[in-house]
Amino acid sequence: MLDGGGVTHDLCGETMGTGWSVRLVAPVLTALAPLRAGIERIFADVIAQMSHWEAGSLLSRYNAAPAGQAFDLPAAFAAVLDCALRVAAQSQGACDPTIAPLVDLWGFGAHANVRQTPPDAAAITAALAVCGWQKLPYDPAQRRLIQPGGLRLDFSGIAKGYAVDLVARSLSLAGIRHYLVEVGGELRGCGLKPDGQPWWVALQAPPGLQARHVNRIALHDLSVATSGDYQRSFQYAGRLYGHTIDPRSGWPVNDTLASVSVLHPSCLWADAYATALTVLGVEAGLAFARDHDLAALFVCRQENTLTDILSPAMQALLD
């Protein structure tokens, strides 16, 4: 049991096209309204900077800017871009923040129509030509980003994870030591529940298939992010085309790999690495996870069942 007589308080709402929730342990008479207001300000700021749904966001303004226009980035935007570019470099382009044209082409963007058939090869080649993280003229020391002409950023795969980190930090600064933060399935847990148990969370899994062996984990000062092809997808000619696009080929990843979950102290980095590992696939992804000491769970389809493949760091956490 925890000292201090704390009880669990629940806050929840909607943001970024999904739901959010916070469970926190605090005294019974804790004023929750200021905490909620602070959380909602965080979400509003992330949307104002990084939403590809909002025409007035910084990201949307950058995407629409003419060649040569420079942007002095706020710290939050720069932190997300820095992470995306570092993982892009580490993974040799498996994670690419300039992937927006391909995401739109495949029908998974903010204003694109859901497809029923894959785009033709010529359209994919044309979209690939206007992507490429190496083309970004970015000075991280000055936090200065220039639009070279036609490049379009997409932070939809990592912005939620960053929002989780910001909310967690705000709770810690407010003196809350025990909490579980969730935004759209990305989570961070800190401390313990009032009964002394850790924050146990269920890992996301494709519907309609038998559950795999590892279906829940304890988050103790850890975050978890999951990338899965079942979240947004369409089927054509017997294949599932998921929303995770390989920036190197322009095609959705192979549908054998159902999902990848990554545990990391930062939910932003867990989000970025989950995307990169999904694109790399099981064999290359496991090698990458070993090389970077990442705790990763690969969930693969085998007929009507799901098979777990764990990186060494993930196996060590579960032992």
Asked if 162 and 76 count as a contact pair (C-beta separation under 8 A), the reply is: yes
Listed residue (203, 214, 224, 199) closest to 274, CA to CA: 224
What's the chain's average pLDDT? 90
- Measured CA to CA, the distance from residue 293 to residue 35 in angstroms comes to 35
Whole-number pLDDT of residue 257: 84
145: helix, coil or strand?
Answer: strand
User: What are the phi and psi torsion angles at 78 (to 5°)?
Assistant: -65, -40
- Give me the average pLDDT of each 10-residue run along the chain (319 residues): 73 94 96 96 97 94 98 98 98 96 86 75 95 96 97 93 97 96 96 93 69 78 85 68 87 84 97 96 96 95 82 91
The answer to whether the predicted template modeling score (pTM) of the entire model surpasses 0.95 is: no
Kind and range of the H or E run holding 146: strand 144-146
Burial class (CB in 10 A: 0-12, 13-18, 19+), 180: buried
- Measured CA to CA, the distance from residue 112 to residue 124 in angstroms comes to 15
- Neighbouring CB atoms inside 10 A of 317's CB total 15
Listed residue (209, 175, 180, 206) closest to 192, CA to CA: 180
Listed residue (291, 297, 287, 292) closest to 317, CA to CA: 297
Whole-number pLDDT of residue 1: 43
Whole-number pLDDT of residue 215: 75
User: What are the phi and psi torsion angles at 273 (to 5°)?
Assistant: -70, -35
List Cα–Cα distances, 245 to 173, 226, 297, 303, 311, in angstroms: 37, 15, 19, 23, 23
- Neighbouring CB atoms inside 10 A of 218's CB total 14
- Measured CA to CA, the distance from residue 308 to residue 303 in angstroms comes to 14
Whole-number pLDDT of residue 232: 66
